[in-house]
Amino acid sequence: MNYSLTQLKYLVAVDTYRNFAQAAEKCLVTQPTLSMQLRKMEEAFGISFFDRGKQPIVPTESGKRMVEQARNILRECAKFEEMASQDLKAYSGKVKMGVIPTIAPYLLPIFLGDLLAKFPGLELEIHEMKTADILEHLKTDELDCAILSTPVNEPYIKEVTLYYEEIKVFSNAEHPFVALNELTSDQLVRNDIWMLTEGNCFRNQVINLCSSKIQKLYGSRLSYQSGSLETLKKMVETEGGFTLLPELAVMDLSVRQLKQVKSLVPKAVREISLIYIRNEVKKEWMQVITNTIRNAIPKEMLDKDRGLMVEWK
């Protein structure tokens, strides 16, 4: 039975965007051309790939299986092409990487310059997005890899631990926490905590760290929730209260502000990993990125025993 890689790309594009016009635009063809090629495949296989009566369109049960196999075929073809490319020019290529917002502004400046300087053939495309969106984009091959808090506990995901980041408490200069040498998680159950919006895995880690008791504290402070750690820092400074911050997010604080940072007892950490799809199409690049990050961060952050890990699920 004859079919082409181009037809498989059309099939995957329609599944990804759930719209024929948008899929055609992404594939740089007209919609009639894309639709005709898919019709030919459906006629050849004797099945319908999509339920066109629904908007957005959805794959049929048979279509779901065919789409998944098409993705696998395209991944293996990409791997084949990359192997040939590396034989011609070592360490060149494009990597599409997702990074969650509580990591991106603090980790990227630490390692990106060194990575791009050492590997001039690397074209790195970075997207800042939440964990749920990253996982969806990995499934559809819109991302090659991502840096986020793990474990994600998904069978199709390969996780490579990068470092273990301590979760710190940052308080207003007049807050009673500042006078203490250290804090316990029970002391965090207060109504003057500033938190990230829902959908951020670091928010879930804060709630898990403080137990479900914190969910009973929704008062005037918790009615304001931010999607940015930098906003939370500023709100603490100007309005009072406290927030929790990952370790890298406190490294750029002033000497005065560092006095407002406290550790928990026992120390709480989150695991940060590079994740990618099980087919490992660009495994060589994953290793290069992993090594560069590990070499760039403080060595104590490589120790998995430096604190109790807080999961985000």
The long-range contacts involving 140-144, CB below 8 angstroms and separated by at least 24 positions, are 140/12, 140/15, 140/16, 140/71, 141/12, 141/71, 141/74, 141/75, 141/277, 142/16, 142/96, 143/96, 143/97, 143/98, 144/95, 144/96, 144/97, 144/276, 144/277, 144/281, 144/282, 144/285
Q: Which residue has the higher pLDDT, 284 or 300?
A: 300
CA distance 138 to 307: 30
Q: Which domains does the chain possess?
A: 5-86 (1.10.10.10), 89-163+270-303 (3.40.190.10), 164-269 (3.40.190.10)
CA distance 284 to 281: 9
* Whether the predicted pLDDT of 217 surpasses 80: no
CA distance 141 to 225: 32
Q: Are 91 and 289 in contact (CB under 8 A)?
A: no
Over residues 228-255, mean pLDDT = 92
pLDDT band with cut points at 50, 70 and 90 for residue 206: confident
Range in 69-78, 147-156, 252-261, 276-285 with the lowest mean pLDDT:
276-285
Q: Which residue has the higher pLDDT, 264 or 4?
A: 264
State residue 88's pLDDT score.
40
Over residues 11-18, mean pLDDT = 90
Mean pLDDT taken over the chain: 86
User: pTM for this one?
Assistant: 0.72
State residue 85's pLDDT score.
54
* Whether the predicted pLDDT of 269 surpasses 60: yes
Range in 6-10, 79-83, 308-312 with the lowest mean pLDDT:
79-83
Percent of the chain with pLDDT over 90: 45
State residue 84's pLDDT score.
54
* Whether the predicted pLDDT of 221 surpasses 80: no
* Whether the predicted pLDDT of 114 surpasses 50: yes
Q: Are 245 and 260 in contact (CB under 8 A)?
A: no
The torsion angle over the Cα atoms of residues 263, 239, 253 and 257, rounded to 10 degrees, is -70
State residue 43's pLDDT score.
85
* Whether the predicted pLDDT of 74 surpasses 90: no
State residue 121's pLDDT score.
84
pLDDT band with cut points at 50, 70 and 90 for residue 289: very high
